[in-house]
Amino acid sequence: MSATLYCNPLPLPQLPRGRYSGQPTAFEQQFDLPDAFCIFFGKDRPDFRESGDVEVLHYQPDGCWYLFGSSRAGDSVYRSRDFLTWEHFQISLTAGNGYAPAVTQRSGKVYLSFSLSPLYEADHPLGPYHSLGYLCDQRGAKLKAWLDPALFTDDDQRMYAYWGYGPADGGLFGAEIESLYPPVIKGEPTFLIDFNREHLWERFGEANEDPDFSSLEGASMFKHEGRYYLLYSANGAGFRNYAEGCYIGSSPLGPFEYARSSPFARQSTGIVNSCAHGGFVRGPDNQVWYFYSTCIRQRHEYERRIGRDRVFFNAAHEPQVCISASPRHLDGSDAGLLPVSVNKRVDSSSHEAWNIDRYAIDDCTHTWWQPAFNDPQPWLTLELRREFALRAIRILWSEVNLDYERGILPEPVKYRLDFYRRGESEPSRTLDFSDQQEDLVVDFRTFAEIPAQRVRLTILQG
């Protein structure tokens, strides 16, 4: 099996703690929030892990890719040297908010910010970072609605900022950054776009049923062949049909024209859904890729993972992305591997409450199989009905008992896979991961072809 395959959601190691999990942070407590936000800021919030609202920086000095995503502290960064495997690093930040990162490089420096956060500067994507202060207007006032920001450096090294939320905060805005010491924009903010009820996919709700409201957010800027692509997301990050759209302009601040391919990324069913709030980046061979959030939704509606897929441009220079949930080659082409487990027959050693074994294979992220708490060595057996040539596995682990305050922390899951040929009672092959040392909440592995009709997963620890 080729070592140049990836599969969504991406198997990022040591996924960080979710933004709205556990006790509210000191940063959260400084806001007087309405009752509508109690689901996020209430005191009885289950722990979960996430990374979303992703931005990837291709750092020119070392040629590596650095992935930044939303989390509780915003201090997790991933580095890839080959655009396939990712290493986890922690950075140190002075502010307490780590949601919706914005990152760019300019003149040998790296600049990073988050929603409602200062602008940080570093000599390297992994830091150390120091705060330059909040981005302000010409009068010295903090920019209004510094939410879901984006940073962009043009070829002439002029830097731009994008931010906002529509329609509640008036839409998305942009400005050139005139000074970094302290951070100040040039002139007045430029209005860019807002919710357009004629774009039906932008309308709020799972069925886009609300013609008068949306969550238009997640600005990102990318330049390709002399054109400026203003990406944005709608219609609400908690919905399965959350999607990504685009406006195209001839300068960083527009004017912009709506791309008729919008939403160019949308997937509302299956393991990989709610695919939005991301950005473009150049990968190997200068190909353009789209990194995006995708929802799990087991412990919280914003429990998310990261996906990626290749970007293609049509004759009108508009982006198009085919969201994938099966293995792909590094160039984005389909590896030809089909899922053979969905809704097949299954048996298990036990289950807890309503979390029956069939939920392990129903192609749905917000249901899961949970063994009984007193099951010493849980197992799940999958009957494929006929013999297949198996070449890869993908397991999305559930973490229903996480509790950081009580010391119940993430750990590597140790397990074994036994493969049985048709009519055999003893396994013909075994893949033993009992020495697993890497903490992977999404586990994707390829291997040499194994013919099998039954597969048994035995959880040894975790």
In tens, the pLDDT along 401-411 reads: 899 999 999 99
Instruction: Tell me the residue ranges of DSSP E strands in 288-378.
Output: 288-295, 304-313, 319-321, 328-329, 345-348
Which pLDDT belongs to residue 316? 97
Give pLDDT tens digits for 217-227: 999 999 999 99
Give the CA distances from residue 29 to residues 60, 98, 337, in Å, rounded to whole numbers and listed in that order: 39, 15, 48
Q: What is the DSSP letter of 35?
A: G
pLDDT at position 1 over 50: no
| Least confidently predicted of 11-15, 166-170, 259-263, 355-359 | 166-170
Mean local confidence (pLDDT), 158-168:
96
- Which ranges of 90-216 does DSSP label H, i.e. alpha helix? none
Whether residue 368 is predicted with pLDDT greater than 50 in this model: the reply is: yes
**3-state helix vs strand vs coil in the chain, percent to 5:** 5, 45, 55
Higher pLDDT, 294 or 43: 294
Name every residue whose Cβ is closer than 8 Å to that of residue 376 and which is 6 or more positions away in sequence.
Answer: none
Average pLDDT of the residues in 442-452: 97
Mind listing the pLDDT tens digit for each residue in 250-260? 999 999 999 99
CA atoms within 13 A on the CB side of 274: 25
Residue closest to 67 by CA, chosen among 306, 343, 317: 306
Residue environment code for 401-432, b if the CB has 16+ CB neighbours within 10 A, otherwise e:
ebeeeeeeebebbbbbbbbbeeeeeebebeee
Contact 413, 393 (CB under 8 A): no
Average pLDDT, whole number, for the chain?
93
pLDDT given at position 143? 95
Q: What are the tokens at 105?
A: 């490089």
| Mean pLDDT, residues 283-295 taken together | 97
Q: Which of 14-23, 36-45, 111-120, 187-196 bottoms out in mean pLDDT, i.e. has the lowest?
A: 36-45
- Cβ-based neighbours of 172, under 8 Å, separated by 6 or more: 162, 163, 164, 165, 166, 191, 192, 193, 194, 216, 219, 230, 232
Helices (H), 38-147: 38-41
Residue-level pLDDT at 34: 43
Alpha carbons 105 and 290: distance in angstroms, whole number? 19
In the predicted model, is pLDDT for residue 207 greater than 70?
Answer: yes
Nearest to 245 by CA among 266, 273, 225: 266
Confidence (pLDDT) at 367: 95
Is 345-461 in the same CATH topology as 5-329?
Answer: no
- Residue 90 to residues 9, 71, 75, 87, 253, Cα–Cα distance (Å): 21, 12, 5, 10, 33
CA distance 106 to 179: 13
Architecture of domain 345-461: Sandwich (2.60)
Q: Which one of 1.10.630.10, 2.102.10.10, 3.40.50.620, 2.115.10.20 gives the CATH number of domain 5-329?
A: 2.115.10.20
- Note the pLDDT of residue 302: 86
Q: What is the pTM of this model?
A: 0.95
- Read off the amino acid at residue 316: A
Look at residue 339 and tell me whether its pLDDT is greater than 90: yes
Within the chain, how many helices (H) and strands (E) appear? Answer: 2, 28
Domain ranges of the chain: 5-329, 345-461
The Cα–Cα gap between 210 and 262 comes to 19
CA distances, 417 to each of 96, 343, 372 (Å): 41, 19, 20
Q: Is the pLDDT assigned to residue 36 strictly greater than 50? A: no
Q: CA 167: distance to chain centroid?
A: 24
| One-character DSSP codes across 259-280 | -TT-SSB---SSSS-S-EEEEE
Q: Has residue 37 got a pLDDT over 90? A: no
